[in-house]
A = this chain, B = another copy of it.
Amino acid sequence: MGNLSLHRFGQFVRLTKSESDAIGRLGIERRRFKRHDVIRSQGDPVREIFFLIEGWVACSIESANGARQIVKVHLPGDGLGGQSLALAEAAESLCALTSVVVVDVVPAERFGELFLSSPKLAAGMFLGAQQERIWLMDRLMSVGQTSAVQRLASFLLSIHDRLSAVQEEPLDSIRLPLSQEELASVLGITHVHANRTLMDLERTGLISREGRVITLVDMEGLRDFAGVPKRQFQTDPPWLQEALRRHRRRKGASSEESGPQS
Contacts and interface: CB of A to CB of B under 8 A. Distances in A.
B145 A68 contact: yes
Nearest to A114: B243
B117 A247 contact: yes
A201 interface: no
Nearest to A184: B144
Interface stretch (A19-27, A133-141, A168-176): A133-141
A174 B253 CA distance: 53
A134 B84 contact: yes
A224 interface: yes
Nearest to A186: B144
A67 interface: yes
Interface size class of A (residues with CB under 8 A): 35 or more
A227 interface: yes
A259 interface: no
A85 B134 CA distance: 10
Interface in A233-255: 233-234, 237, 239-240, 242-244, 246-247, 250
A87 B134 contact: yes
A67 B239 contact: no
Contact of A85 (B107, B127, B145): B127
A134 B112 CA distance: 19
A143 B243 CA distance: 39
A112 B123 contact: yes
A192 to B, nearest CB: 16
| Smallest CB-CB A-B distances: 8 pairs | A144-B188, A112-B243, A108-B239, A64-B227, A69-B141, A67-B145, A129-B129, A63-B227
